[in-house]
Chains A and B, each alone.
Chain A
């Protein structure tokens, strides 16, 4: 750890319970829906029930007759509001104009068409029901491969090929690699559409004070400052007249790393009616109208030598974009390409992405965002190759790992991996489960007719996203650290969290650095009127970038503290440690609180020094960080039912230095369970008319406690050289490591039946059918 204090009792590295929890466990935290204001109106949004349709007419008259209805707006009213922004720029990218309310055509189920504003949420819903929208349904297409077929319905009539972009990337000499190959394996691998399903749906409270020309948006987002900049643009409002407040946020997982139509719409409504307005997304709206994740069809080809040495990887990636680009939609599959080679030294790659419009809600960042898809692909292909060559999955991985002395390592995709020791977590999981003995047990199980599987993944990820040139909206982060006149410390981070525990981990770092107790530090976030411009919490960047920005702000403050300390001690040789400034000659010391008071009282100032103890630091990271790890899953498949029993799940993650093991464990558990959700149960299903079949929690199988195995976690520690904290990030690790290990395990279980690949989710029905196709009970 890079802390410089010599306190015997440091905070960093301790299992400290979270400081944000008292308000959450007592029910006194404030989420958006908890906000009340005098005269508050409630909005209900009318949405398309069709995947594709023309809007022939909208009759709002019956709805206006409901007592309590304040206003109704349709697409014609909001036509001048700027489009929902896409932050991505790819060569030749087709960007459909994304109005906040549909005007004459709807493109997906859930597409907003009108908004009703009433004095009560029940009345708003009643009135919304009474709005008559005359639709002329049109043919729709929701499967990206079908959308690419000739003659498919055009999602946007102006682009009949449904292609939003083509992206090509070559690294090394892929043609030579395939020409020299002794073996080539091919596999189609899908990463299905998923619904992020944060427990708190989206919600906005907008308040317009016309006299002040001030709009305040309370919104459940991961990126308050980006919302402010972009919604101000959409509304044609000066940015400094818009204040965005992010109160408690009930989960995001990438789905709130966005700027949504409804955020601008509520601003528009509040400005029109002159009263505050609240919109709380229903769960069905959340499933139809908040971004989905994944949506890949990947065609892999891997060239190798007979000894298992990887020579080249080709990927044709079909990305289901949905009907529009949200903030980062087209960027997500490019992250998959960056991560294509995984932890392996293979230097020849070719990737072709085709981004496909479909009649579905846009896809965008969902926990892992492009990296789970890539890791799933390469880790599945390693097992496919191992099976082809009759090699052990461990052996083939170790043969191809980037060596420990090869870091920093330049990948064929243009990244520079910061640090790694890839065999360490693999060896640790193998040792934990007793791998060799386990393979013997498996032989016996197979002899007994049981379908036992052992599945591995050795994953890598791109975290601490990211350097600004590689990030659509700036990849730095900011912090202001204030030492108040009393010596108490206030940290304002631009990295607004939503469950990650930054109020605790940041206070641990600040406490150690300044030699104060954890309760002396307050971490403030999520209000653009209070906190300096920042980017937000996503891409496992909070601690690695936001924490580092704070660290550097503190280093600046320390210099200032020493100047004031020297003044008070009448010395020219002082050190600052453990919260006191000490004269190195006399041993006399002065505590931080006294220094702080003197700096604000400012009776005397050190040379060239301003009063007060405040520092702001914007930190631009020089690189991403690259965490890694190994997960192993032991399964047994029931031949009669296709049910998969997870016998053991062991995860060893290397996320660099660990600031709070309790929080890191929680991140891994949650990540793994979202990975299990994808591997086993979850799938957003649209039918051929573009109807979302999995439109409620009843139909979309979110993981429940009783489905989940005990997850054994541990770590290896390879500090990152990219930041002084040595941290890498852990928010997405579990999700990225999990799904390939899970699928590899079940494929391994069914391999005696000739099964080589299974697409997710691995439902009992799918597994049962595979068993039947292979001769059933034989």
Chain B
């Protein structure tokens, strides 16, 4: 049993036939070939798989691909335009907001949403905004710095 789904990923429309049980993260990684979002826990706790669906940051490991039918999906691969990085990517780079890099795509997608919802958050609000994203390397401080560096300009 399969179903046809159509969605727009990083500005490009595509249609695929998928099993209804296929998770969005597996669809993105293995069907659409976008391996930026990662699988860290499969239980929506770690946030490594975070992507935007219709403008909202979601955990793509606990959403079925068929649920995203008709949606606009934005992944880490869709942020930079050519050589020009998204300001949040640049901020993570400047502030050393990553070490092993595995959680980073999810962190950056969540970071963007934190500022979209509140352009000048306090440090506590930034930290609270990352409640669904775990980083085991950085201790979070440089990630907070990255978001703060853009918040200050907001």
Binding site for B on A (CB under 8 A): 17-18, 20-31, 33-34, 36, 121-122, 197-201, 248-253, 280, 282-283, 498-501, 662-663, 665-666, 668-674, 696-698, 702-706, 708, 710-711, 734
Question: Does A697 contact B41, Cβ atoms closer than 8 Å?
Answer: yes
- B137 contacts A by Cβ under 8 Å: yes
Neighbouring B residues of A21 by C-beta, 8 Å: 92-93, 98, 101
Neighbouring B residues of A251 by C-beta, 8 Å: 99-100, 102, 136-137
- B77 contacts A by Cβ under 8 Å: yes
Neighbouring B residues of A708 by C-beta, 8 Å: 127, 139-141
Chain B residue nearest to A669 in the complex (CB): B139
Question: Does A24 contact B37, Cβ atoms closer than 8 Å?
Answer: no
- B45 contacts A by Cβ under 8 Å: yes
Known: A17-B94, A26-B85, A200-B102. A670 touches B76 (CB 8 A): no
Question: Does A31 contact B43, Cβ atoms closer than 8 Å?
Answer: no
Neighbouring B residues of A250 by C-beta, 8 Å: 38, 100-103
Neighbouring B residues of A696 by C-beta, 8 Å: 41, 43, 45
Question: Does A705 contact B76, Cβ atoms closer than 8 Å?
Answer: no
Question: Does A199 contact B40, Cβ atoms closer than 8 Å?
Answer: yes
Binding site for A on B (CB under 8 A): 19, 21-22, 26, 29-30, 34-43, 45-46, 48, 75-77, 79-80, 85, 89, 92-94, 96, 98-105, 108, 123-124, 126-128, 130-131, 133-144
**Residue B36 contacts which of A20, A26, A282, A668 (CB distance < 8 angstroms)?**
A26
Neighbouring B residues of A706 by C-beta, 8 Å: 124, 127-128, 130-131
Question: Does B139 contact A711, Cβ atoms closer than 8 Å?
Answer: yes
A367, B147: Cα distance in complex, Å: 28
Chain B residue nearest to A22 in the complex (CB): B93
Question: Does B137 contact A670, Cβ atoms closer than 8 Å?
Answer: yes
Question: Does B77 contact A27, Cβ atoms closer than 8 Å?
Answer: yes
Question: Does A663 contact B40, Cβ atoms closer than 8 Å?
Answer: no
Known: A18-B93, A705-B127, A705-B131. A665 touches B142 (CB 8 A): yes
Neighbouring A residues of B98 by C-beta, 8 Å: 21, 24-25
Question: Does B136 contact A702, Cβ atoms closer than 8 Å?
Answer: yes
Q: How far is the CB of B145 from chain A (nearest CB, A)?
A: 10
Q: What are 24 contact pairs spanning A and B, CB under 8 A?
A: A17-B93, A25-B105, A26-B89, A27-B34, A27-B36, A27-B76, A31-B102, A33-B35, A33-B39, A121-B26, A251-B100, A282-B42, A498-B100, A499-B101, A500-B99, A666-B96, A670-B99, A670-B139, A704-B131, A705-B131, A705-B135, A708-B127, A708-B140, A711-B141
Chain A residue nearest to B106 in the complex (CB): A199
Question: Does A25 contact B45, Cβ atoms closer than 8 Å?
Answer: no
Question: Does A283 contact B142, Cβ atoms closer than 8 Å?
Answer: no
Neighbouring B residues of A31 by C-beta, 8 Å: 35, 38, 102
Question: Does A199 contact B76, Cβ atoms closer than 8 Å?
Answer: no
Chain B residue nearest to A504 in the complex (CB): B96
Neighbouring B residues of A734 by C-beta, 8 Å: 139
Question: Does A669 contact B104, Cβ atoms closer than 8 Å?
Answer: no
Residue of B38, B41, B94, B101 most packed against chain A (CB within 10 A): B101
Question: Does B96 contact A704, Cβ atoms closer than 8 Å?
Answer: no
Question: Does A24 contact B101, Cβ atoms closer than 8 Å?
Answer: yes
**Residue B136 contacts which of A199, A668, A705 (CB distance < 8 angstroms)?**
A199
Neighbouring A residues of B134 by C-beta, 8 Å: 199, 697, 702, 704
A499, B39: Cα distance in complex, Å: 18
